[in-house]
Amino acid sequence: MGNRERDGYVLTDDASRVDVDRVHRWLAEESYWATGRSHDLVARSIEGSLPYTVLRDGEQVGFARVVTDGATFAWICDVFVDERHRGHGLGVWLIDSIVEDMTDRGILRLLLATRDAHEVYRRSGFTPLAGPGRFMEIDRRPTRNAILGLA
């Protein structure tokens, strides 16, 4: 993908541009799905994924990562836009760019999960699972109830 620019923002898939400390703070302190996640866990998750970073004047203001086999499947996760930069369409731009990048790589199945941003992802072509009864999971995350909206 390289770099893309829009309205003074830069979107890149250059892993060296990720501010791991900032992403850790966002996820561990501001997200509902990763509250309390350790710095080491965040760093390892980024290292094992394809990270996408949104920058403004060199400062990271958005992030997402993709877990993929590089051939058939990709899971988009840890999508976060700094509160000061929300409302500028950065989330949709980030997701649309990831979808385009995965499509260009030949990956035809993309998955993500959200508790409250369905409309954002719907604009990028996502729909509810067609066969949710086929999916199974083991979910031992301490944030499980918050993720499911049960807390």
Instruction: Report the CATH number that the domain containing residue 44 is assigned in CATH.
Output: 3.40.630.30
Task: Encode pLDDT of 114-147 as tens digits.
Answer: 988 898 899 999 999 988 888 888 888 887 888 7
- How far is the C-alpha of 138 from the C-alpha of 37, rounded, in Å? 18
Q: How many domains does the chain have?
A: 1
**CB within 8 Å of 110: residues ≥ 6 apart:** 73, 74, 75, 76, 99, 102, 126
Whether 7 is covered by a domain: the verdict is yes
Note the pLDDT of residue 140.
87
Cα–Cα distances (Å) from 24 to 3, 28, 77, 123, in that order, read 23, 6, 14, 27
Whether 89 is covered by a domain: the verdict is yes
Structure tokens at 85: 């930069």
Task: Encode pLDDT of 21-38 as tens digits.
Answer: 999 999 999 998 999 999
- The upper half-sphere exposure of residue 58, i.e. CA atoms within 13 Å in the direction of its Cβ, equals 0
Structural domain of residue 109, as residue ranges? Answer: 3-127
- How far is the C-alpha of 6 from the C-alpha of 85, rounded, in Å? 13
Q: What is the pTM of this model?
A: 0.90
Structure tokens at 53: 């970073």
Rounded to an integer, the average pLDDT of 104-121 is: 93
Whether 146 is covered by a domain: the verdict is no
The answer on pLDDT for 151 being more than 70 is no
Whether 149 is covered by a domain: the verdict is no
The answer on pLDDT for 74 being more than 90 is yes
Residue 82: name the closest of 143, 9, 6 by CA: 9
Task: Encode pLDDT of 48-59 as tens digits.
Answer: 999 999 999 999
Confidence of residue 9 (pLDDT cuts 50, 70, 90): very high
The distance from CA 20 to its chain's CA centroid, rounded to whole angstroms, is 14
Whether 86 is covered by a domain: the verdict is yes
The answer on pLDDT for 41 being more than 90 is yes
DSSP letter, residue 20 = H
The distance from CA 75 to its chain's CA centroid, rounded to whole angstroms, is 9
Whether 62 is covered by a domain: the verdict is yes
Whether 144 is covered by a domain: the verdict is no
Whether 138 is covered by a domain: the verdict is no
Cα–Cα distances (Å) from 92 to 17, 47, 70, 132, in that order, read 20, 24, 22, 24
